[in-house]
Each structure stands twice: as C-alpha cells, then as structure tokens.
Amino acid sequence: MNKGETDGFVIKSKGKNKRKRISFFFYDFVKITGFLPAFIFIRYKKLFVSKEAEAHHRGPLLVISNHSTYIDPVIIMKALFYRRVIFMATKDLFRTKLSAWFFRHVHCIEVDKGNVGVGTVKDVLERLKEGRAVMIFPEGGVNESSDDSNLQAFKDGASLMALKSGASVLPVYINKEKKVVVIGEKIDVMSFLSDGKKSGLRAIRDFSELLYAKESELKSYSENY
Amino acid sequence: MTRQEIFDTLKDIIGSALERTDNMKDVSERSDLRTDVGLNSVGLLYIVISIEERLHVSFDDVSFNDFQTVSDVIDYIERHQG
C-alpha cells in the first residue's frame, strides 16, 4: 500500500475533482419555502437518546436512517434543520430535464441502484471531505415489506463510505407509527478503525453490523416511548 | 506497468481486501470476480477505489457491472494507465 496516500482505510489524498460546482442558493430556497408545509403536515416528535445526542454536529457527517416512507428525507431535513443534508436519489428521478435540474440543484447525488458507479461513490466521498452531511438509507431503499417495522438487512455501501471518508456517522430512526424521530449518538469511525485488527472487507461488514445494532437500539427506544 | 505486474498488484489488492494469505494462487485472469473471487458489489467498489489509490488510474465512468473477470479489470487498467 502506498503509505503516502492511505492509512489503512481513510483516503487522505484529494484526487481530481471533476464535479461541477453548484451553489446552495436553490437548496436553501427549497428548504426555507418547504419548511412551513413540513411544519404543518409532518409533525414528528424529535427525541434524543442522550444529552450527547442533542449536540449539533459540524464537519463531515454521514447520516443513516431506516427508510419506510417516501417523506423520510423531509423528516430528516426537518430533524437536522441546522445542516444542509445531501441525499442520494435514484436515477429514475433524473429522467426528465426539469427533474434532473431540480434534483441536481438541491444537491442530490444520482445513484443507479442496480449498477452503482464508481463516480457515485467518489462523489459521496468528495462531499464528505468538503465537510458536508450526506444521508444514506442503508436498507437500500424504501422498506416495502408487509411488516415495515422490522429493519431490513443493511447493505455495506454506507460502511464503505464511512470507512473510506473517515466521517462520523449519525444514526437516526424514524418510527412512523408513533410519529417520532430518534437521534442517536454520533459514531466515531476513527475509534472503530483504531483497533488495528480491522481491515479489508471484513471491517466493512463489521461496521455494517455495528450500524445495524445502533439502529436497532434507536428502534427499541422509539417503541418504548 | 506490464500486464503481469498489473495482475500481481491486483491479486495483492484483492488478497488484502479479503485478508487472504495464500497469495491468491487459485486466481487467474479468467477468474470471475463474483463467483470465483467472491466479491459482491461493495467489494468490487472497494477494490476499484484501492486500485485508483495505488495505480493512479481513474475509474470515474465505470460501474461494478462493467467488470466480469479479473482480465476485464486488467484490460481497463492497461488502456487507462498514464
């Protein structure tokens, strides 16, 4: 391994940056104008699992959550109002010129769920290195099972992004039955990696299991509320 | 880099990712990345990013379905190495 550029997992080199820069003006406009209807129609109570969970997190942040309804991104935006959260959006949403323009200008990252491109992964890593907050639903899509109160198995993509970027992970759980959104404590990736035994794809799987365990804790917390 | 050097580097990267200590002796250029080597989509993305870091070859415009065998990856690196 080229020690000058990587230290185990986390990429330290900046690499090429081919992404076209888009200002956050339209993102902020949509967020501000959408706040009132979101405030009226989406009344989820925000809960914190501890005093530490109430902290406002600055810098690179990977937000993860269960995904059971199509309004989950709005719930997350409202719960983390202090951050500009960047979402992943399926390529179907970029089909027309107008929708593509809209989703690009609200800073959504286009993803082909059936055939994830390397460019998509690098786009996420780049945003995290810029100090942004990126949201990923590790279940891989809306949970459409008959019993959507059960968490689906997590895909490893979120772990890959976290371990490659070194960004902290903020677990969030949305309980649509109880209309609550639970914010957990930030998970420090560097602490996870500091155990020298963790490397390769096993570390990614182990971290996915850790994220799943944290989400399950938040789920129990919401159910006991 | 010669094709053999690329192949050896690739085996080293995959071996590290899978924590294999047998020098990947059972892997040939014809080996299927999924069924023979045992990589899933995230595993393939991890390997590709590791190759970028080590060999400075950009994989920006490819997806994990673009590579079926080890040979496909070597061909890509040969075409795009500086």
In this structure, the number of other CB atoms found within 10 A of the CB of residue A151 comes to: 18
Question: Does A104 contact B at CB distance below 8 Å?
Answer: no
How far apart CA A180 and CA A101 sit, in angstroms, is 32
**CB A112 to CB B60 under 8 A?**
no
Q: B-chain residues within 8 Å CB-CB of A162?
A: none
* Residues A209 and A198: beta-carbon distance below 8 Å: no
How far apart CA B3 and CA B71 sit, in angstroms, is 10
**pLDDT of A7 over the 60 cut:** no
Residue A37, domain member (yes or no): no
Number of separate domains in chain B: 1
Q: A-chain residues within 8 Å CB-CB of B49?
A: 11, 118, 121-122, 164
Number of separate domains in chain A: 1
Residue A1, domain member (yes or no): no
* Residues A191 and A209: beta-carbon distance below 8 Å: no
How far apart CA A206 and CA A91 sit, in angstroms, is 29
**CB A116 to CB B64 under 8 A?**
yes
CATH assignment at residue B57: 1.10.1200.10
Under the banding of pLDDT at 50, 70 and 90, the label for residue B10 is very high
**CB A204 to CB B46 under 8 A?**
yes
In this structure, the number of other CB atoms found within 10 A of the CB of residue A16 comes to: 11
Structural domain of B43: 3-80
Q: B-chain residues within 8 Å CB-CB of A164?
A: 46, 49
Q: Give bridge partners of residue A133 from the DSSP assignment.
A: A61, A85
Across chain A, which distance is largest between two alpha carbons, in Å? Answer: 53
Token pair recorded at residue A222: 């919401």
Residue A102, domain member (yes or no): yes
**CB B61 to CB A117 under 8 A?**
yes
User: In terms of CA atoms, which chain B residue is nearest residue A165?
Assistant: B49
End-to-end alpha-carbon separation of chain A, Å?
48
Residue A31, domain member (yes or no): no
Question: Does A213 contact B at CB distance below 8 Å?
Answer: no
Average pLDDT, chain A: 88
Under the banding of pLDDT at 50, 70 and 90, the label for residue A11 is low
**pLDDT of A44 over the 90 cut:** yes
**CB A201 to CB B46 under 8 A?**
yes
**pLDDT of A61 over the 70 cut:** yes
User: Which residue of B18, B53, B60 is in closest CB contact with A2?
Assistant: B53
Span A99-127, average pLDDT: 92
Query: Tens digits of per-residue pLDDT, B49-75?
Result: 999 989 999 988 888 788 999 999 999
Helices (H) and strands (E) in chain A, counts: 7, 9
E strand residue ranges, chain A: 6-7, 10-11, 45-48, 61-65, 85-90, 109-111, 133-136, 168-175, 180-183
How far apart CA B23 and CA A77 sit, in angstroms, is 47
The ipTM estimated for the assembled molecules is 0.88
- Residue A77: closest CA among A116, A37, A104: A37
**pLDDT of A1 over the 80 cut:** no
Residue A150, domain member (yes or no): yes
**CB A2 to CB B58 under 8 A?**
no
User: Which residue of B58, B60, B63 is in closest CB contact with A112?
Assistant: B63
In this structure, the number of other CB atoms found within 10 A of the CB of residue A185 comes to: 19
Give the three-state DSSP class for A86: strand
- Residue A84: closest CA among A11, A140, A28: A28
* Residues A76 and A63: beta-carbon distance below 8 Å: yes
CATH assignment at residue A88: 3.40.1130.10
Query: Tens digits of per-residue pLDDT, A162-181?
Result: 999 999 999 999 999 999 99
Residue A29, domain member (yes or no): no
State what percent of residues in chain A have pLDDT above 70.
89
Under the banding of pLDDT at 50, 70 and 90, the label for residue A194 is confident
> Structure pTM?
0.89
Structural domain of A205: 43-223
User: Which residue of B18, B52, B65 is in closest CB contact with A115?
Assistant: B65
More confident residue, A127 or A5: A127
In this structure, the number of other CB atoms found within 10 A of the CB of residue A84 comes to: 15
Q: B-chain residues within 8 Å CB-CB of A197?
A: none
How far apart CA A4 and CA A126 sit, in angstroms, is 19
